[in-house]
Chain A
Amino acid sequence: MSNKNFIPVLLLTVLPAAGLLHAQQSAATGSDASSSVKIDLPADSPVTLISYSMGQTRVTARGGAMVLDLDMSLTLRNNDSAARSVRDVMLLITAQEFTPGGKGSVARPSIDVPAGQNFTLPIKLRLIRPVQQANGPVRVQLDGVLFSDLSFYGPNRLNSQRAMTLWEVEAQRDRAYYKQILQAKGEDGLQKEVLNGMKKAAERPQLDVALSHTGRAVGSAAANFAADSTPAEKAHFAFLELPDAPVLAVQGQADIKGNEVRSPWIEVQNRDKDKKAVRYVEIGWVVKDKEGNEYLVGSVPGSGVSSRNTNGAAPNAVIQAGQRGTLEPDATLKFSRDGRPVAIDGMTGFVSQVEFADGKVWVPSRKDLNASPLLRSMSPSTEEQRLLDIYLKQGLNALVADLSKY
């Protein structure tokens, strides 16, 4: 065969194959874009979907992976028949074909939406999957709505009732605190307090955290933990005692190996003065690195704490007054900062949230938080974040006006 014939034949062979590949890619991206999101709100939901926009949603191929970027905005309306104001909303986000066993949520706390008014909720999401993996929709479902009277609606699959109630109680605490400052010290005093709050927020160091369940993590954190021949060190928690806390952290420990902390275990005692049973306890968790820097990294929660009583309390039981219970989340946490592992040298805990069996919650007071330099550096509530942002963007007058709204 001469060269004259060879090149056309080669082109005739290669071009259809390339076209076929391109067609496969285009088909995949087209189907991704059209069926990527399913929004599902219950028929009797007090919050209804008015509209949604897909914004700059796009699908791109990156190496051997497909990347789906969703930049959605949902417009919802408070259609509550009892005309209650909506204070918090949480949506459940799942993509089971991408991340089975994992889910996400997007919540909008610290809002005040009267009945009949609209509000928006942004969802900015990135999904990555291998090219050969099956595609599937992103499901957006309502998980909960919290009203101004702390009543709740929703399936509550993410325990959003507890989370949103705690946010709301913290928001009420911080609004009351800044209103009290305004009343007692005037606008200058309020400005000074706001600047202090902004300074604390700017100075607060942050760690990146990777979390996996100890019993399930076969290929990642847990496997690395087990493969490392360095023995884990049992480290004990030091506890800060808050005078008004209804629960006392008695003792606790965790396995520490380098930048990993595994299987934290904390014993608590119900010492509520009103003798109320406790359903949920959360211990704020501060870790110290080898250089002595301290980071508030999160919490050790105890949902359905195991009561250490003598009457055979089962898991999910509450801790009765005077009794002890244990918090034993099955987790491995790995800490890093700017991509470098942060070796853990010590841990401090404090009781940060308590939920009683009757649904009431307790959070530390501003007085408690201000009493300790360590706690002064803890994360502000979502409401405090919002108030500081109003001052930053719109000035003192706007902040004063917002505080006077409710």
Chain B
Amino acid sequence: MNTHPSETDLALLAGGDCGRLRSFILNRHVARCGDCRDTVASFGELRSETLELAESNVLPEADWSGLAGEMRANIRLGLAAGECVAAAPARILPVSWKPRLAMGAACVLLLTGVGIFLHGLLPNDNPTGVVHAATTAESNSTGVQVTYGASSMTLMNHGDVAGDQTVSSDGAIRASYVDGDTGTVTVTSVYVE
């Protein structure tokens, strides 16, 4: 230890109120430092006297009103001094890698992302775009299809003979094809209401 311990620490050491580690460190210093050893000894003597007084129930008379006035004066002085002193510049801490902080932030981000994704899996009574989506019917080489927003239902051609398709402008598209295995005709249609 390069500097002397504070009087508070020495007082606590004298009274046996320090923690084990702190007591060990302070005792090592006191053993090599005469000034501190004297301070600790004086705190010990004062403590003994106080205990004796307490045991004899004899306390010196104190001027309590004077003490109260002195305390108020000190408080006012402290407030006035605080107003006169400008705010001290904030201490800039050096930026350094904080693994715990980084891990915590990563976990929060991950859980937030998972939450958003899982919320998306929940049934949604009003999916985006539904209000303005139009139901359309289409025919193409795979079959006939009715589409609503991002959803669709396709009745597939699965015959080995190319289907023939027609559209009826009242809202139906129809495709017919011959089933290769059975030789029977299947007609698939989609309708837009």
Interface string of A115-137 (1 = CB under 8 A from B): 00000111111111111111100
Interface string of B116-143 (1 = CB under 8 A from A): 0110111111010100111111111101
Closest 6 CB pairs of A and B: A102-B146, A298-B167, A1-B99, A101-B135, A134-B123, A217-B134
Contact residue among B107, B154, B189 (Cβ-Cβ distance under 8 Å from A13): B107
Q: How far is the CA of A389 from the CA of B122 in the complex (A)?
A: 49
Q: Which residues of B contact A120 (CB under 8 A)?
A: 182
Query: Is there a chain A Cβ closer than 8 Å to B35's Cβ?
Result: no
Query: Is there a chain A Cβ closer than 8 Å to B144's Cβ?
Result: yes
Q: How far is the CA of A390 from the CA of B161 in the complex (A)?
A: 11
Q: How far is the CA of A24 from the CA of B123 in the complex (A)?
A: 12
Q: How far is the CA of A167 from the CA of B187 in the complex (A)?
A: 11
A298 and B183 within 8 A (CB): no
Q: Which residues of B contact A102 (CB under 8 A)?
A: 135, 137, 146-148, 153, 190-193
Q: Which residues of A contact B176 (CB under 8 A)?
A: 109, 382, 385
Contact residue among A98, A127, A211, A392 (Cβ-Cβ distance under 8 Å from B167): A211
Known: A124-B158, A126-B154. A219 touches B169 (CB 8 A): no
Known: A102-B147, A211-B137, A216-B134. A125 touches B192 (CB 8 A): no
B187 and A211 within 8 A (CB): no
Query: Is there a chain B Cβ closer than 8 Å to A196's Cβ?
Result: no
Given contacts A93-B155, A133-B127, A213-B192, 6 further A-B contacts (CB under 8 A): A99-B147, A110-B185, A126-B153, A126-B156, A167-B187, A212-B136
* Residues in B lying within 8 Å of A, measured CB to CB: 99-100, 103, 106-107, 110-111, 114, 117-118, 120-125, 127, 129, 132-141, 143-144, 146-148, 150-158, 161, 164-171, 173, 176-180, 182-193
B155 and A100 within 8 A (CB): no
Q: Which residues of A contact B161 (CB under 8 A)?
A: 385, 389, 392
B186 and A106 within 8 A (CB): yes
Give the nearest-CB partner of A121 in chain B.
B186
Q: How far is the CA of A382 from the CA of B144 in the complex (A)?
A: 17
A104 and B155 within 8 A (CB): yes
Q: Which residues of A contact B158 (CB under 8 A)?
A: 71, 122, 124
A133 and B148 within 8 A (CB): no
Q: Which residues of A contact B173 (CB under 8 A)?
A: 209, 211, 298
Give the nearest-CB partner of B138 in chain A.
A210
A282 and B192 within 8 A (CB): no
Q: How many A-B residue pairs have CB under 8 A?
A: 246
A217 and B167 within 8 A (CB): no
Query: Is there a chain B Cβ closer than 8 Å to A14's Cβ?
Result: yes
Q: How far is the CA of A201 from the CA of B176 in the complex (A)?
A: 13
Q: Which residues of B contact A65 (CB under 8 A)?
A: 150
Q: List 10 A-B contacts (CB under 8 A).
A: A10-B106, A24-B121, A104-B144, A126-B153, A212-B134, A216-B134, A282-B168, A331-B169, A382-B176, A389-B183
Q: How far is the CA of A165 from the CA of B182 in the complex (A)?
A: 23
Q: Which residues of B contact A389 (CB under 8 A)?
A: 161, 178, 183
Query: Is there a chain B Cβ closer than 8 Å to A169's Cβ?
Result: no
Q: How far is the CA of A107 from the CA of B189 in the complex (A)?
A: 8
B183 and A103 within 8 A (CB): no
Near B by CB (< 8 A), chain A positions 1-43 give 1-2, 6, 9-10, 13-14, 17, 20-21, 24, 28
A300 and B178 within 8 A (CB): no
Q: Which residues of B contact A208 (CB under 8 A)?
A: 138-141
Query: Is there a chain B Cβ closer than 8 Å to A325's Cβ?
Result: no
B169 and A98 within 8 A (CB): no
B186 and A108 within 8 A (CB): yes
B156 and A220 within 8 A (CB): no
Expressed in whole angstroms, the minimum distance between the Cβ of A331 and any Cβ of chain B is 4
Query: Is there a chain B Cβ closer than 8 Å to A316's Cβ?
Result: no
B152 and A98 within 8 A (CB): yes
Query: Is there a chain B Cβ closer than 8 Å to A50's Cβ?
Result: no
